[in-house]
């Protein structure tokens, strides 16, 4: 028993010493990655959204996803949240009498939920087999079901709760928006933006979308402006409409290191379900820590070697002490 106690004491003391040495501030913390220059994305403007959910139906069709039912009649596709088979959903904020659109008090508002295509995605960083990858040119975060081992690290890592596991699938894969990259070869783009009647969901280069978002929030509420529809820089489908009472905040410009999907709203983002995130991505933080601890596999080898040495020494010390007592007893 004493031997085991000495062993554990040595392990704890040795582990603490090694750990405190190893977690000293890393010499070179990894910077948060930025969006590629030609990054593609979406701009969702909640003040233009009428909640028609044409984008939800178009997303289902474009991705060949089955309907999901939340009503007993099972007549319509009525998902309540994103899932392994629902990559895009429009949620509704409600308050009090719900009289006024885009009012926080006694109002209602809409918010789109789909992959944000983060500049520095934690799903990519967490995936141990590179089934989640970020395209260096377009920045699209893509998923490869052939490489996926179903560990669901990406599900846990995403701060937006986006990757979802297909529990009923025999192969158990992940489902998430890939910005409709499979449609580009035929001259199409994101189905949700193609179908949106008001331009509330707009597709394009993230840099152009950010400029458009900043143009909108600089306008006077109630004035009239032109809103593009479909694809920014594509065929002109623009129309004139009143300017909403925007928050002075482009969600996704800075959050979590920046995202390629950007959002505008008149209702506080936290109230419409968007998380309050710091400007640094968690991928940068976790990779810095991992690389500090495990760089070149030095850390595990050092820890194992040191712990073995301490354990052996304590066991020897104990044997020596026992031997002395025994000798004494024999005398």
The residues of the shown chain that bind ligand SF4, judged by CB under 6 A, are 49-55, 58-59, 62-63, 87-88, 90, 110, 112, 114-118, 121-123, 141, 158, 160, 162-163, 176-177, 179-180, 190-192, 195-198, 200-201
Report CA torsion sign: 190, 194, 198, 203: positive
Is the CB of 122 or the CB of 314 nearer to ligand SF4?
122
Select 133 or 169, whichever has its Cβ closest to ligand SF4: 133
Q: Which is nearer to ligand SF4, 10 or 120 (CB)?
A: 120
Nearer of residues 264 and 310 to ligand SF4, judged by Cβ:
264
Q: How far is the CB of 183 from ligand SF4 (least distance, A)?
A: 8
DSSP code for 110: E
Alpha carbons 256 and 214: distance in angstroms, whole number: 19
Shortest Å, Cβ 53 to ligand SF4:
5
* Ramachandran sector of residue 152 (left: φ over 0; alpha: ψ -120 to 50; beta: rest): left
**Cβ 97 to ligand SF4, closest distance in Å?**
22
Of residues 10 and 244, the one with the C-beta less far from ligand SF4 = 244
Nearest approach, Cβ of 158 to ligand SF4 (angstroms)?
3
In the complex with ligand SF4, which residue's Cβ is closer, 237 or 322?
Answer: 237
Quote the CA–CA distance of 312 and 183 in Å, as a whole number: 63
Nearest to ligand SF4 of 55, 131 (CB atom): 55
Taking the complex as a whole, the smallest distance from the CB of residue 117 to ligand SF4 amounts, in Å, to 5
* In the complex, minimum distance from the CB of residue 133 to ligand SF4, in angstroms, rounded to a whole number: 10
Helices (H) then strands (E): counts for the chain: 8, 12
List Cβ<8 Å contacts ≥24 apart for 231-238: 231/189, 231/193, 231/194, 231/202, 231/203, 231/204, 232/43, 232/202, 232/203, 232/204, 232/205, 232/208, 233/204, 233/205, 233/208, 234/189, 234/204, 237/199, 238/199
- Least Å distance between CB 318 and ligand SF4? 51
Q: Is residue 235 within 8 Å of residue 189, measured between CB atoms?
A: no
| DSSP state letter for 282 | H
């Amino acid at each position: 028993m004493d031997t085991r106690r000495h062993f554990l004491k040595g392990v704890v003391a040795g582990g603490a010493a090694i750990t405190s040495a190893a977690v000293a501030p890393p010499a070179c913390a990894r910077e948060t990655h930025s969006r590629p220059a030609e990054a593609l994305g979406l701009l969702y403007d909640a003040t233009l959204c009428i909640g028609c959910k044409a984008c939800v139906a178009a997303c289902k069709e474009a991705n060949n996803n089955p309907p999901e039912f939340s009503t007993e009649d099972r007549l319509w596709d009525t998902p309540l949240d994103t899932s392994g088979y629902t990559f895009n959903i429009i949620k509704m904020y409600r308050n009090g009498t719900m009289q006024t659109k885009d009012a926080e008090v006694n109002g209602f508002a809409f918010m789109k939920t789909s992959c944000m295509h983060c500049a520095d995605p934690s799903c990519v960083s967490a995936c141990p087999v590179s089934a989640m990858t970020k395209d260096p040119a377009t920045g699209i975060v893509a998923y490869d079901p052939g490489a996926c081992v179903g560990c669901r690290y990406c599900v846990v890592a995403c701060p937006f709760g986006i990757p979802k596991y297909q529990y009923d699938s025999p192969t158990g894969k992940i489902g998430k928006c890939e910005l409709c990259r499979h449609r580009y070869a035929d001259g199409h783009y994101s189905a949700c933006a193609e179908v949106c009647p008001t331009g509330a969901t707009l597709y394009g280069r993230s840099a152009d979308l950010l400029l458009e978002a900043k143009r909108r929030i600089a306008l006077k509420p109630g004035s009239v402006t032109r809103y593009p529809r479909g694809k920014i820089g594509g065929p002109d489908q623009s129309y004139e409409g009143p300017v909403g009472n925007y928050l002075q905040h482009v969600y996704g410009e800075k959050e979590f290191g920046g995202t390629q999907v950007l959002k505008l709203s008149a209702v506080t983002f936290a109230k419409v379900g968007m998380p309050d995130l710091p400007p640094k991505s968690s991928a940068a933080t976790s990779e810095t820590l991992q690389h500090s601890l495990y760089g070149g596999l030095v850390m595990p080898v050092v820890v194992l070697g040191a712990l073995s040495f301490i354990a052996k020494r304590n066991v020897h010390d104990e044997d020596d002490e026992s031997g002395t007592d025994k000798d004494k007893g024999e005398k």
